[in-house]
Amino acid sequence: GYLLHEFLSPLANQRTDGYGGDFEGRARLTLECIAAVREVWPAGKPLLLRVSATDWVEGGWDVDDTVRLAGLAQAAGVDLVDCSSGGASPLQQITVGPGYQAPFAAAVRAAGVPSGAVGLITEPEQAEALLVEGACDLVLLARQLLREPYWPQRAALELGAVPHVPPQYGRARRAHREHIPSGGAPAVAAR
């Protein structure tokens, strides 16, 4: 799991000092980190907090804890809570499927805190539906962009938008066509 989540989760945090015990003690480090970052982070740039919204284990951190933390984080200067999950216990039981973590973002957003959804969001229509339905304010992609770096352009086209393509991409495409013959091998002499 994430370091801050190791403090938040009652499964991982067995401390008896001011950084353990009840919710307030377990949340202390996260809130102190937010305050420290907010002091140096430019006011005009958004500050996002990624959380594990649930441990997926009975008696662990859960979505109600996340909603409570999200309110405190917003008051401390966080602009959006990015809702992931899991990672604190080998006992976790996660039912994985398309958009399986989006309900956590929806719960945070319903509490009045802007949220980001993650987790097997792979299709443009799926991402758009989460935004249109109000489940989140932002869709964040990771593994899908590793698999398909041009996903944003594909998404824009499939959703009826005209993607902005930087001029550098056009030059690269032209150079590629000029230097790679139809057989696919680069037109470079062996040295």
Q: What is the pLDDT of residues 62-119, one digit of tens each?
A: 999 999 999 999 999 999 999 999 988 999 999 899 999 999 999 999 999 999 999 9
Q: Which two tokens stand for residue 136?
A: 């989140």
pTM for this predicted structure:
0.84
> What does the chain come to in residues?
191
Residue 168 banded pLDDT, cuts 50, 70, 90: confident
End-to-end CA distance of the chain: 49
CA distance 182 to 186: 10
Catalytic residue check, 2:
yes
Residue 174 banded pLDDT, cuts 50, 70, 90: low
Which pLDDT value is given to residue 165?
A: 79
Cα–Cα separations (whole angstroms), residue 103 to 66, 70, 82? 12, 15, 12
DSSP designation for 180: S
User: Which residue from 14, 36, 37 is spatially nearest to 25, judged by alpha carbons?
Assistant: 14
Residue 178 banded pLDDT, cuts 50, 70, 90: low
- Express each pLDDT in 44-64 by its tens digit: 999 999 999 999 999 999 999
Percent composition of the chain: helix, strand, coil (DSSP 3-state, to 5): 40, 10, 50
In this prediction, residues 170-182 reach a mean pLDDT of 59
- Match 């037109």 to its residue by tokens: 187
Does residue 167 register a pLDDT over 90? Answer: no
